Amino acid sequence: MAKEVLLRKSIGGTSLDDLRADGRCFAEHFVAKMLRADMMERLRKHQEQGDCCVLVSASLDLYLEPWAKRIGFDYCITSSLVIDVNGTATGALRGGNCFGEEKVHRIKRLLNKIGRPSRSYAYGDSQGDIPMLSMVDEGYRVQKSIKAYTNIKHQEFKE
């Protein structure tokens, strides 16, 4: 897989402690700049309503978990690196890439632990999110360039 080849070449052999420090720094200084204000507002509304909010991403836990905790997500499901006996990253992904159907499998494992909510929502912006968006009551495909989204099941377009 291309992602693992890139990870092996770029961070393979790096200590977990160093990667976590870099991840916390990235989460603190850069993640917020990459986000859309309208989607953050939707997250806040779900949190105000008491919804269980779960971040599901193919990106690495090293920076998403610290950010998700600070923002108030209840759970964070991401890709994770394999760490060898010396405490260094191999570049391989533990449990595979959290993408496509793998997101569905991981969400189902979480739901088996915490129970299924009475109503479920999901937001995604890539083709790899379609399986996840299809499994919930209301799944929205977010348009990357404009403030719009499409309800996957009902094909409604909203701004």
pLDDT, tens digit, 9 for 90 and up, residues 13-69: 999 999 999 999 999 999 988 888 899 999 999 999 999 999 999 999 999 999 999
Number of domains in the chain: 1
Range of the structural domain that residue 130 is part of: 2-158
- Number of neighbouring beta carbons within 10 Å of residue 31: 18
Kindly report, residue by residue over 94-113, the tens digit of the pLDDT: 999 999 999 999 999 999 99
Q: What is the pLDDT of residue 149?
A: 61
Phi, psi of 42 (to 5 degrees): -60, -40
Amino acid symbol at 40: M
The tokens for 28 are 């603190």
Q: What is the DSSP letter of 154?
A: T
CATH of the domain at 96: 3.40.50.1000
Question: H or E segment at 69?
Answer: helix 61-71
Considering the entire predicted model, what is its pTM?
0.88
- Number of neighbouring beta carbons within 10 Å of residue 61: 19
